[in-house]
Amino acid sequence: MATDDLNKPLGLPRERKAHRTPLVALVAPPLLIAIGLIAFFAFGDGPDDPGNVVAAIDDASPDQTGSVGPALTPVYEAQSEPLVEVKPTGGLREVRGNDVIISDPSKPRPIRLAAAPFEDLIEADENGLLPRIGDDGTRPLDAYARPAGATEGMKRIAIVVGGIGIEGEAGQSAIASLPGEVTLGIVPYGEDLPATVAEARALGHEILLQLPMEPYNYPDIDPGPNTLTVAGGTAKNLDRLRWLLAQTTTYVGVMNYMGARFTGDDRALAPILGDIANRGLLFLDDGSSARSRVGAFASDSAPVIRADLVLDGDTAPAAIDARIKQLVAIAKERGYAVATATAFPSTIARISAFARVAEENGIALVPVSSLVRADGS
């Protein structure tokens, strides 16, 4: 699959099934409950089904081979919102009210990030809700960031996988199968965008919003509605930016979607990066254009970071692996490295394979926000 496959109609959102309270929990008469309690104390725990409301989140649990898996880690919740039901293979179970979470006992429990915006970090306009810096100085960059975890003595790598929202099943696979440390880039189109973001953050993924920017062959290749263009002018581009930013919430920053021409023009770029910084967001240059001028606008008040390379300009697995090796070499020399990629099946598979062996090779996968925040930006 070529990288210009992104220029296609949006994938349809995946249908989600409504969660229903088991009928037996509502209509079981007191007599049956009493019989159940007698049976429980007489014979031990019942079968492993959703009706058993014993939470086992703090204990180790045998896997299918009889060995004991690791205890689950605490959940990080910035605020309360409905649980997203996740049912991978395994036997550890948490029950909260009517929601049952089944976790894989061979993996630590994922960090779960809040899906709803904080009231003091949003402002409303005709487009919807826009991010802003709170009255106490809190930035969305900090409030919605994923905790980086312990990285002492390790080299740090941040990987951002974009195209979520237009890659259909591949995008859903990226959300579900990539480790939570991988940051996801959301394209600001699609009817079910808030649910997609909520699902991604419930599985621990930090979010960047991808902003469509003018490529050199625009409009023959059109990134999408409300693309920021060099000829658009400051007022029009800022109007378009507000529309784009209002399409979802709880992102830590933005990144360019295409945009080789736009990111190479200082006059067009400056007001956009200024508005993004004033809203407390980071800007990631995806590393696809050698002519980009984004880095020239970096400052203490404008957190900007540039990706070192794109992992999947060639989507062949061997080519992706070779780029990952380059990424590791950069991290070992400098202490950290950043890469971008798109939610293609081969990309997801190779990043997942790398993630499984990264730690034993002295590499810590980290959310991209941790790199700019750690540097004091």
Which is nearest to 312 in space by CA: 167, 109, 149, 180?
A: 167
User: Which residues are CB-contacts of 5 (< 8 A; sequence separation ≥ 6)?
Assistant: 344
Instruction: Give me the count of residues in the chain.
Output: 377
Residue 93 pLDDT:
34
Residue 162 pLDDT:
96
Mean pLDDT of the chain: 77
Residue 55 pLDDT:
24
Regions of the chain where pLDDT drops below 50: 1-105, 375-377
Residue 260 pLDDT:
97
Residue 43 pLDDT:
39
Residue 107 pLDDT:
55
* Parallel, antiparallel or unpaired: strands 99-103 and 282-285: unpaired
Residue 157 pLDDT:
98
Q: Tens digit of pLDDT for each residue in 176-214? A: 999 999 999 999 997 788 899 999 999 999 999 999 999
Helix, strand or coil, per DSSP, at residue 166? coil
Residue 149 pLDDT:
82
